[in-house]
Amino acid sequence: MKKFLLAFILGAMLSGGFTYMTVSASPEIYEKQVITVHTGDTLWDIAAEWSGKDEDIRDVIMRIQKENRLSGSNLAVGQQLVIPVRRTVSDVIAEQNERNITTALLIQ
């Protein structure tokens, strides 16, 4: 049991350190979500829905336009859009730590 605990702690430390190094190397982390445009949707409304609390909606609009190669703000009903959603470093690290704990519990 002691060997297992030691191996788990060592693995968690190594994994956490690797995650920190990987995440801290890139200043921005984006997770891509695919959505379908519905009647009445505007680029502004979509960006507002997917923006973070400290993000300027105009920056989110520009990311959506760039990701989808849109030159303007015209959308068509049924159109698929890729939305680059900004994530924080702490969210990514917390998610990795949760996976490590779940894996360790499954091994027991």
pLDDT in tens, 45-80: 999 999 988 889 999 999 999 999 999 999 999 999
pLDDT computed for residue 45 by the predictor: 96
pLDDT computed for residue 98 by the predictor: 84
For residues 31-35, average pLDDT = 94
Cβ proximity of 45 and 91 under 8 Å? no
pLDDT computed for residue 30 by the predictor: 87
State the chain's mean pLDDT as an integer: 81
pLDDT computed for residue 10 by the predictor: 60
Give the integer Cα–Cα distance in Å for 40 and 80.
15
Which position has the higher pLDDT, 36 or 10? 36
For residues 3-25, average pLDDT = 57
Characterize 81-92 residue by residue with b for buried, 16 or more Cβ atoms within 10 angstroms of its Cβ, and e for exposed: bebbebeeeeeb
| Domains of the chain by residue range | 2-107
Superfamily of domain 2-107: LysM domain (3.10.350.10)
pLDDT computed for residue 21 by the predictor: 47
Cβ proximity of 16 and 97 under 8 Å? yes
